């Protein structure tokens, strides 16, 4: 006993909160289904109760053994355990890496794929610690052209164009060029 750590408490809290929120939400769709006895809530509620039960099992295991791995576990990825933060800067770097793609996803609807992508590629490479600007710009150009060639020209995939000017206009211009290119053949 006494091996419980702060991350373990956070973990247990996380599962209990998830189970609680979802269980409460089941009351919003708790309607009977005439042809099915267990209704729309039966299956999810069983899953939520199991989550609660297993979360307590997990907590009990952590109390007994801390964060040690169980014997004979197979396929356990343990490479992430090597990571230990030694400075606030390292936290910032990881936070930056996690937030950039999310901002990119948010920007897709207003700005569109064609304008947001080069900026995103530059930011990701920068976040990864790359500081050689010629390398960053060259690689960005290479990846961008490759993606446009593959998905726009070869596969004709519909990609988001954005809905704010001037980004939308740039997307429209690129698509017009593509149509003219198609007409050549």
Partner 1 sequence: MIDNFLAGTATLFGDPFTVAIFVFGVVGGMLFGAIPGVSMLTLAAILLPFTADLSPAQGVMLFAVIYCTGTYGGAITAILFNIPGAPENAPTAFDGYPMTKKGMAGKAVGAAVLCSAIGGVTSALIMMSATEPLAKWAIMNIGPPEIFALVFFGLAVASSVGGRTIWKGWLSVLLGLLIATIGQDPVGGINRFNFGFSDLAAGIAFVPAILGFFAVSEVFVQAEKKAVGKYEAPLLSVDFPSIVELWAHKIAVLRSILVGFFCGILPGIGATLAAFMGYGEAVRWSKDKSEFGKGKLEGVISSETANNAATGAAMIPLLALGLPGGALTAMMVAVFQMHDLEPGPLVFYNSPDLIWVVFAAMFYANLSILFIGLLETKTILYLLKIPFQFLAPMILMLASIGAYISRGLPLDVMVMFLAGIIGFFLRRSGYSIPGIVLGLILGKIGEQNFAQGMQMVHYDLGTYFSRPICTILVIAGVLTLAKSLYGAFTPVARKTA
Contacts to partner 1 from residues 66-85, by CB under 8 A? 66-85
Give me Rg for the CA atoms of the chain: 25
Q: Which of 4, 16, 61, 119 binds partner 1 (CB under 8 A)?
A: 61
Interacting span for partner 1 (CB under 8 A) from 20-28, 165-173, 174-182: 20-28
**Closer of 73 and 184 to partner 1 (Cβ):** 73
Q: Supply the minimum distance, in Å, between the C-beta of residue 1 and partner 1.
A: 15
108's tokens: 């897709």
Residue located via tokens 């007409």: 183
Q: Which of 4, 139, 170, 172 binds partner 1 (CB under 8 A)?
A: 139
Q: Supply the minimum distance, in Å, between the C-beta of residue 184 and partner 1.
A: 20
Please tell me whether residue 157 binds partner 1 under the rule CB under 8 A.
Answer: yes
**Number of residues near partner 1 (by CB under 8 A):** 83
**Residue 62 region by backbone torsions, left for phi larger than 0, else alpha for psi between -120 and 50, else beta:** alpha
Compute the distance between CA of residue 30 and CA of residue 134 in angstroms, rounded to an integer.
59
Please tell me whether residue 115 binds partner 1 under the rule CB under 8 A.
Answer: no
Return the residues of window 30-49 that contact partner 1 according to CB under 8 A.
31, 33, 35-41, 43-44, 47-48
Compute the distance between CA of residue 25 and CA of residue 56 in angstroms, rounded to an integer.
22
Please tell me whether residue 16 binds partner 1 under the rule CB under 8 A.
Answer: no
106's tokens: 């948010």
Q: Is 36 helix (H, G, I), strand (E, B) or coil?
A: strand
Compute the distance between CA of residue 153 and CA of residue 175 in angstroms, rounded to an integer.
10
Q: Which of 4, 137, 147, 175 binds partner 1 (CB under 8 A)?
A: 147
DSSP 163: S
Q: Supply the minimum distance, in Å, between the C-beta of residue 148 and partner 1.
A: 11
Q: Supply the minimum distance, in Å, between the C-beta of residue 176 and partner 1.
A: 20
Q: Supply the minimum distance, in Å, between the C-beta of residue 177 and partner 1.
A: 19
What is the four-CA torsion angle of 163, 167, 173, 179, rounded to 10 degrees? Answer: -50
């Amino acid at each position: 006993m006494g091996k419980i750590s702060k991350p373990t408490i956070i973990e247990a809290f996380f599962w209990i909160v998830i189970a609680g929120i979802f269980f409460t939400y089941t009351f919003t769709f708790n309607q009977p289904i005439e042809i099915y006895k267990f209704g729309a809530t039966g299956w999810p509620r069983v899953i939520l109760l199991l989550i609660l039960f297993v979360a307590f099992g997990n907590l009990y295991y952590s109390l007994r053994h801390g964060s040690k791995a169980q014997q004979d576990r197979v396929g356990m990825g343990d490479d992430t355990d090597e990571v230990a933060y030694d400075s606030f800067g390292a936290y910032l770097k990881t936070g930056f890496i996690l937030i950039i793609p999310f901002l990119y996803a948010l920007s897709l609807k207003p700005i569109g794929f064609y304008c947001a992508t080069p900026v995103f590629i530059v930011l990701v490479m920068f976040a990864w610690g790359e500081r050689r600007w010629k390398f960053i710009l060259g690689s960005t150009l290479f990846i961008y052209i490759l993606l446009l060639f593959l998905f726009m020209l070869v596969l004709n995939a519909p990609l988001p164009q954005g809905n704010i000017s001037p980004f939308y206009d740039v997307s429209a211009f690129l698509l017009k060029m593509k149509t003219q290119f198609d007409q050549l053949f």
